[in-house]
């Protein structure tokens, strides 16, 4: 695959992330020659007024494809586990948004602005990190390069969209149900009895006007799988297992865009002003840090954008080399679809291909 005027791309999955992949390919003006869209069943879908034909997924559908973007159904029977090897066999570079390949030693885990060079080492498959990991490392990597980070404490405030369309619907429907059935005083003084049956709910508890201190399953050590992803994936991306990382991940009643409060302890001292200057020059990062004027990153202003927004930058007055950041990003875009497309764009621009290394 030499650099050429157009590339054949397959998008697998048409859930929230798959639809966003189609949107990003169009908005980025990706040099498409042919686009194929696959899912479990054939149908037409409409995205921003454009109709896309969705074909039932099959191995031969990847014939002639340069890239295969998997939106993220996971597990032993997930699309990437089942079809990624078939796509690679047929010459495609697979970029997978799911968790199945992220920690495999032979699969690069890539955020282009942070460790794009790792994409060159691929053997056919490249993994997208978890959404919460992507925005964190994008924000802190420029700092790490300058003063080295030795400790991270992360608290995330993750939107419903991170759990898919069903989760978005649950938040929306519960909110509407409360508004329709209760006055403000009634809703304030008594909890909503969720109308969903357990098997239909995306979340185990009410999400509207509530917080859930659980994303993923609980491990034996009390941490959730989401929290441990942030540890293991950051170590892999930074190629540094000495960084001490601890996280608490919380689901919040926000439709889209994740927020994170990040506490960093650096090896060398660095002022908040210096951090603003460092991040102000960082690719893919936007600093919004004028708290006195009420300007700081918010989910409502991050939606639909590819950048990672950083604000509330301040030193810890009680801990030497301690630093706080507030980080917000659209989890469906930079946290998933945009990052995957940017990996493909990086490979095109770097002239790095699977066939060239075989």
Buried b (16+ CB within 10 A) or exposed e, 76-92: eebbbbebbebbbebbb
The torsion angle over the Cα atoms of residues 122, 128, 130 and 136, rounded to 10 degrees, is 90
DSSP, collapsed to helix, strand or coil, labels residue 32 as: strand
- C-alpha 141: how far from chain center: 16
Q: Cβ neighbours of residue 112 under 8 Å, at least 6 residues apart?
A: 119, 339, 342, 343, 345, 346
Residue 131 designated active-site: yes
Cβ pair 125, 97 in contact under 8 A: no
List residues bridging with 95 in a β-sheet.
Answer: 69, 126
What's the rounded Cα separation, in Å, for the pair 28 and 313? 30
Tell me which of 131, 194, 249, 303 is the catalytic residue. 131
Edge-to-edge strand list for the sheet holding 285-287: 244-251, 149-158, 258-266, 322-329, 308-315, 285-287
What's the rounded Cα separation, in Å, for the pair 333 and 5? 25
What's the rounded Cα separation, in Å, for the pair 261 and 58? 42
- The dihedral through the CA atoms of 87, 30, 356, 105 has a sign that is negative
What's the rounded Cα separation, in Å, for the pair 275 and 315? 10
What's the rounded Cα separation, in Å, for the pair 27 and 179? 36
Interhelix angle 272-280/131-147, rounded to 10 degrees, is: 110
Tell me which of 122, 194, 249, 258 is the catalytic residue. 258
Q: Cβ neighbours of residue 17 under 8 Å, at least 6 residues apart?
A: 71, 72, 97, 332, 336, 337
Return the active site residues. 131, 258
């Amino acid at each position: 695959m030499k650099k050429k005027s157009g590339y054949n791309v397959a998008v697998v999955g048409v859930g929230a992330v798959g639809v966003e992949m189609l949107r990003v390919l169009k908005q980025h003006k990706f040099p498409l020659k042919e686009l194929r869209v696959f899912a479990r069943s054939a149908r037409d879908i409409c995205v921003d007024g454009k109709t896309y034909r969705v074909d039932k997924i099959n191995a031969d559908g990847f014939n002639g494809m340069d890239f295969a973007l998997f939106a993220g159904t996971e597990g032993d029977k997930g699309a990437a586990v089942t079809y990624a090897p078939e796509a690679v066999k047929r010459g495609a570079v697979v970029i997978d948004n799911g968790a199945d390949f992220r920690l495999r030693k032979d699969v690069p885990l890539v955020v282009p602005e942070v460790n794009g060079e790792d994409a060159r080492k691929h053997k056919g498959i490249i993994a997208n990190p978890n959404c919460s990991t992507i925005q964190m490392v994008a924000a802190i990597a420029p700092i790490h390069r300058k003063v080295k980070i030795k400790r991270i404490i992360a608290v995330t405030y993750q939107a419903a969209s991170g759990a898919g369309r069903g989760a978005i619907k649950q938040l929306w429907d519960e909110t509407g149900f409360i508004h329709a059935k209760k006055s403000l005083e009634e809703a304030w003084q008594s909890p909503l009895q969720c109308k969903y049956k357990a098997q239909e709910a995306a979340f185990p508890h009410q999400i509207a006007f509530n917080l859930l201190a659980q994303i993923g399953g609980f491990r034996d050590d009390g941490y959730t799988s989401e929290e441990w992803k942030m540890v293991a994936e950051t170590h892999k991306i930074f190629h540094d297992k000495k960084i001490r990382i601890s996280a608490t991940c919380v689901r919040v009643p926000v439709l889209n865009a994740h927020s994170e409060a990040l506490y960093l302890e650096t090896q060398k001292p660095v002022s908040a002003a210096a951090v603003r200057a460092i991040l102000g020059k960082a690719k893919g990062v936007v600093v919004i840090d004028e708290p006195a004027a009420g300007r700081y990153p918010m989910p409502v202003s991050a939606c639909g954008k590819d950048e990672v927004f950083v604000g509330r930058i301040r030193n810890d007055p009680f801990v030497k080399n301690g630093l706080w950041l507030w980080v917000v990003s659209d989890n469906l875009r930079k946290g998933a679809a945009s990052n995957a497309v940017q990996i493909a764009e990086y490979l095109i621009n770097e002239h790095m291909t699977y066939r060239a290394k075989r």
